[in-house]
Amino acid sequence: MTSPGDAAPVKPPPSFSPGVPRVPSKTRYPQRRDSSASLDTERADSRIASSPTTPLSNTTDLPIRSASPSARSIRSSTPQIGRTSLGSPLDGRADTALDIRSLIIRSFSPVVGVYASPDTDELVRQKGFKGGFWELIRPFGENVPGKLVVRDSVGSSRGWEDYGVRFVDLGDLCRAPNDPSQGYNSSLAQLEAVLEKQLDSADSLPSGPLHPKDLAGLSSTSPLYKLYLRQLLSIASASPHETFRHPVASVIAISSRNPAPLESLRQLYADTNTGPQKVPDWIHPEYLRYYVLVHDEDRDDISASTKLYDQMKRHFGLHCHLLRLRSNQCVVTDDDSVQVPECEWLSPSERLSERPEPLVDLDSDGLLYLFDSDVMAIKGFVRELVAQSIVPFMENRVAVWNDQVASRRRGISGRFMSISRKWAGFGTSSRSSSGSGGASGNYNVSQGFYHYDHSEAILRKMADYAFMLRDWKLAASTYELLRSDYANDKAWKYHAGAYEMCAVSTLLNPLGAGSKIKVESIDQMFDTACYSYLTRCSDAPITLRCLTLAVELLKSRGGSAAESAAKWAMRAMDLGLVESVGQGLLSERISSCYASRAPPNGLRFGGRRRKAGMWSLFAADMWLKLGKPSLASACLEEAERLYADALDSDGVFPMPEMQTFVDNLRLSVKVGYLEARGLDVKEETGSTNPLDDEETSEKLDRRMNRRSLIGNLNPLDTATLAQLQTARDGDNVPSDDFERA
C-alpha cells in the first residue's frame, strides 16, 4: 500500500518496479478441437455479421487487435425472409469459440477505483462529462492498447492483446451491500428488458410491397446472444464471496488548478484509508494507490505542473502520472475531434437509462467527442497504469501469498490443522469465534463473510488474482484447495463460488486443451455450484451466470462436452431463470451445441444433427410467440439444413406428420412477417403459396390473430408436437425418423 508522507519516498519492490525491462514472448493460442469446429467452418460468408466492437481511436500508431473469422455455409430450400439487424446466435457466426472465450475472460478484469478531487471533476465537466473524471477514463480502460506481457507463477511470460481493466467509482464501490443478491435479484428482469429493447429498436423491416423474389434477399445477422452474455456477466457487483469486483488499485487524481496539491493528495488518501471512502471489512484495504496530476493544457503552465509532478514522485513514490488534457470542450466540427468510444461493460440498469447528454447541445446527437491529443494522453496513462503498476503489483501479491499462505495450507501441517478444525475445533481464533455457530471460527455466520485477513479470504483473493492474470492452473488448484474449508464452515456462497471458478479455470486452461478432461467431474462441480447458489443462497442471477459459463466453455470443447453443454442450457430453462427472449436464445444455443457434435471418424451416424434441427424448430416457434417472424425464418432455415440427411431428394420429410408441421410453420412465419409489415396476406401469398387459394384462406383465417404455432393445431399436428416435446424432454426419442443418436 502506498502511503503519503514527508519522509523518504516509498519505493515499490523490485519485482514490480517500472524500470525493470520485460521481455515479451510469443503468444500461443489454444487450438480448437476438430469436433467442435467441424460445423463452424461450414457457414457461408453471406451469413457472417461481425460484432460491433468499440474502437479505441482513429489513430494509426497503436496496434489494433484483429478479429477471429469463422464461417459456416448454409444451403437450404427455405427462402430467407427479411432479417432484422439483430439476428440469432445460431446464424450470427460472429460468436466463434475464441470470441466467446475472450468475452468471458475479459468479464473478469481487474477493478480500479477512481477518486478525484472536486477541482478535477469540475475540469472534466467543462469537457461535457457530467460524471467527472471517472466517466472520462472509463471507456479507455476496457482495452489496453498494445500487447501486455503477464508472468505466471512459474515465471513464464505470455503476451495478451485483449487485456483490460474496469474503472469504477470508488464511492459506489464502498457503498456495496453485504448481500448483493438482495439488491440485484431484479436484474434478471432488467436483462430481459434490455434484450427486448434491443430487439424492438433493431427490428426495422424494409419498406414497400413484398414479392416472392424479395424473400431470399435480406440476410444480415448481429450479436444478440453476445449482448445477452455481456449483460449477464455485467450484473455482478462487489460481494464478499468473490473478489473480482474488489479494487485492485485506486486512482487518486488532482488537477493543476488545486491551490494545495500535496495536502489534497494526503487528504484523499486518508479518505480511502480511514475516511468516508474506506472499503468494507470484507474488502482487503491494502490495494495499490496511483496518484494522477491532471494538467490543464489551455490555461495552466506546464513548467509549474512538471515541478509539482516531481514533488509528487518524491513524496508518494513512483506510482504517479502527469496527464495533460485540454479543458475546452471538443465538438464534432473540430479537425482533430475523436468520438468517445461506448463502454462495453454497461450494466442492464445503465443500458436501460438514457444516454447522458452533454452540458451544451452542439448538434452532436448527444455523442461526446475529445481532442485527439486528449485521447492519446488517456491511452498512454491507461497503458502505463496497467503495464507498469497494476499487473506487477498483482504478480507480486500472488507470489507473496502463494509462498506465505498457500504453501503452508498445501503442506502436511496445513492438512493436519484442517482436519483438526473439522473434527476437534482446534485452530480457531477467539476474535472470530463469536457468532460463528460452532464452525471453524473464521467464518462469521451473523455477517456472512470472512474477515479480509483470514487465510480463507486471502487464498480466495490469491486465486482470483491468478485468474485475472490468466494463470488458470494456479487458480484452479487454489480453488480446489478451498472447497473443503468452505464446506466445513458451511459458507455456502463461498463454497459455490469455489466450485464454479474451479470448473471455469479448468476449462480455460490452454494446457488442458489437448488433454482429455473428464466431463463428469466438470459437470459435478457445476452441479454443486448451482445447487448452492440457487437452493442455499437464493441467488438467481449468479446461478444463471454459472450455467451460461458451463454452456459456453463446454461447447468450445466439442465432442461429448458439447452435448453436456446443451443439457446445462436446458437446466437454465427448466429452472425458469430466463424468460421470453432468453428462452429463444437458449433454444438456439442448444441447437448449436448439438450441431457441433460431429460424427466420429467422419461417419454418417453418431452426430446430433436431427436433435439440433428439432431445437431449431422450437426456437422458431418461440420467436413467433414474440412476433419476430424474421428470426423464426432463420431458425426454420437452419432446421431444414440440419435435417438435410433425413429429407428426400425433393426436400420432403419422410414422415407426413413432420412435413405438415414444418409446412404450417413456414406458413405462420410468412403470415407473421406480412402482418408485421401491414400488408394484405391473401394478396401477397395467393400466387406463390404452394397451396391453392381456398386452402390458403382457410389456414390464414385460423392463424390471423395468433403468433404461436402451438396455439391452434389440428389433431395430426398435435400428435407430431407430442413426439417433438418427448424428444425435447429426454434423450429417448420415439422414432429414428426424429433422431438417430
- For 211-248, what is each residue's pLDDT tens digit? 323 322 223 334 689 999 999 999 988 999 999 999 99
Determine which of 159-163, 333-337, 621-625 has the lowest per-residue pLDDT on average. Answer: 333-337
Residue type, 582: G
pLDDT tens-place string over residues 6-47 = 444 434 433 333 333 343 443 333 443 343 333 333 333 333
Q: Which of 583, 613, 634 is the last residue of a domain?
A: 583
Q: Which of 680, 695, 730 is the last residue of a domain?
A: 680
Q: Does residue 2 fall inside a structural domain?
A: no
Give residue 686's pLDDT band: very low, low, confident or very high (50, 70, 90): low
621 and 576 assigned to the same domain: no
Whole-angstrom distance, CA of residue 593 vs CA of residue 551: 8
527 and 670 assigned to the same domain: no
pLDDT value at position 391?
97
pLDDT value at position 567?
95
Whole-angstrom distance, CA of residue 607 vs CA of residue 595: 8
Q: Does residue 120 fall inside a structural domain?
A: yes
pLDDT tens-place string over residues 458-474 = 999 999 999 999 999 99
Determine which of 63-77, 424-438, 710-724 has the lowest per-residue pLDDT on average. Answer: 63-77
pLDDT value at position 13?
39
514 and 577 assigned to the same domain: yes
505 and 614 assigned to the same domain: no
Rounded average pLDDT over 628-656:
81
pLDDT value at position 295?
96
275 and 140 assigned to the same domain: yes
What is the CATH number for 262?
Answer: 3.40.50
pLDDT value at position 17?
37
126 and 153 assigned to the same domain: yes
Whole-angstrom distance, CA of residue 710 vs CA of residue 725: 12
Rounded average pLDDT over 248-271:
95
Asked whether the beta carbons of 265 and 256 are under 8 A apart, the reply is no
pLDDT value at position 674?
74
487 and 602 assigned to the same domain: no
**pLDDT greater than 80 at residue 365:** no
Q: Does residue 325 fall inside a structural domain?
A: yes
Average pLDDT over all residues of the chain = 75
pLDDT value at position 357?
45
Asked whether the beta carbons of 106 and 268 are under 8 A apart, the reply is no
pLDDT value at position 654?
74
Given its phi and psi angles, is residue 273 left (phi above 0), alpha (psi -120 to 50 degrees) or beta? alpha
Determine which of 369-373, 564-568, 682-686 has the lowest per-residue pLDDT on average. Answer: 682-686
**pLDDT greater than 80 at residue 340:** yes
Give residue 671's pLDDT band: very low, low, confident or very high (50, 70, 90): confident
Domain count, the chain: 3
79 versus 471: the higher-pLDDT residue is 471
477 versus 661: the higher-pLDDT residue is 477
Give residue 661's pLDDT band: very low, low, confident or very high (50, 70, 90): confident
Give residue 702's pLDDT band: very low, low, confident or very high (50, 70, 90): very low
Q: Which of 680, 711, 736 is the last residue of a domain?
A: 680
pLDDT tens-place string over residues 490-536 = 999 999 999 999 999 999 987 665 556 788 899 999 999 999 999 99
User: CA distances (Å), 2 to each of 6, 197, 260, 395, in order?
Assistant: 13, 45, 20, 17
Q: Is 304 helix (H, G, I), strand (E, B) or coil?
A: helix
Q: Is the dihedral of CA 139, 140, 146, 152 positive or negative?
A: negative
Query: How many CB atoms are located within 10 Å of the residue 429 CB?
Result: 12
> CA geometry: angle at 632 spanning 630 and 636, to 5°?
120
Query: How many CB atoms are located within 10 Å of the residue 523 CB?
Result: 18
511 and 543 assigned to the same domain: yes
575 and 632 assigned to the same domain: no
Give residue 57's pLDDT band: very low, low, confident or very high (50, 70, 90): very low
> What global pTM score does this model have?
0.77
**pLDDT greater than 80 at residue 378:** yes
Residue range of the domain that includes 624? 598-680
185 versus 311: the higher-pLDDT residue is 311
265 and 338 assigned to the same domain: yes
Looking up cell 481532442 gives: 371
* Helices (H), ranges, 334-448: 348-352, 372-385, 391-401, 407-410, 412-423, 430-433
Q: Does residue 442 fall inside a structural domain?
A: no
Give residue 394's pLDDT band: very low, low, confident or very high (50, 70, 90): very high
Rounded average pLDDT over 163-168:
96
Looking up cell 492452473 gives: 473
Residue type, 244: F
Whole-angstrom distance, CA of residue 394 vs CA of residue 534: 32
164 versus 442: the higher-pLDDT residue is 164
Percent pLDDT > 70 in the chain is 65
204 versus 389: the higher-pLDDT residue is 389
Whole-angstrom distance, CA of residue 442 vs CA of residue 494: 13
Percent pLDDT > 90 in the chain is 46
Q: Does residue 703 fall inside a structural domain?
A: no
Nearest to 250, CA basis, from 133, 104, 131, 398: 133
**pLDDT greater than 50 at residue 90:** no
Rounded average pLDDT over 259-263:
94
Q: Does residue 553 fall inside a structural domain?
A: yes
Determine which of 36-40, 130-134, 325-329, 563-567 has the lowest per-residue pLDDT on average. Answer: 36-40
634 and 661 assigned to the same domain: yes
Give residue 557's pLDDT band: very low, low, confident or very high (50, 70, 90): confident
pLDDT value at position 334?
72
**pLDDT greater than 90 at residue 59:** no
pLDDT value at position 656?
80
pLDDT tens-place string over residues 288-302 = 999 999 999 999 999
Q: Does residue 543 fall inside a structural domain?
A: yes
Rounded average pLDDT over 168-177:
82
pLDDT value at position 691?
39
Whole-angstrom distance, CA of residue 445 vs CA of residue 476: 26
Nearest to 526, CA basis, from 501, 500, 553: 500
Rounded average pLDDT over 604-629:
85
668 versus 54: the higher-pLDDT residue is 668
Rounded average pLDDT over 70-77:
35
Cell of 333: 466540427
Cell of 262: 500535496
* Buried residues in 715-727 as b, exposed as e (16+ CB within 10 A): eebeebbebbeeb
Beta-bridge partner residues of 449: 444
pLDDT value at position 564?
93
513 and 372 assigned to the same domain: no
601 versus 658: the higher-pLDDT residue is 658
Q: Does residue 578 fall inside a structural domain?
A: yes
pLDDT value at position 332?
83
Beta-bridge partner residues of 325: 296
Nearest to 133, CA basis, from 293, 266, 300: 293
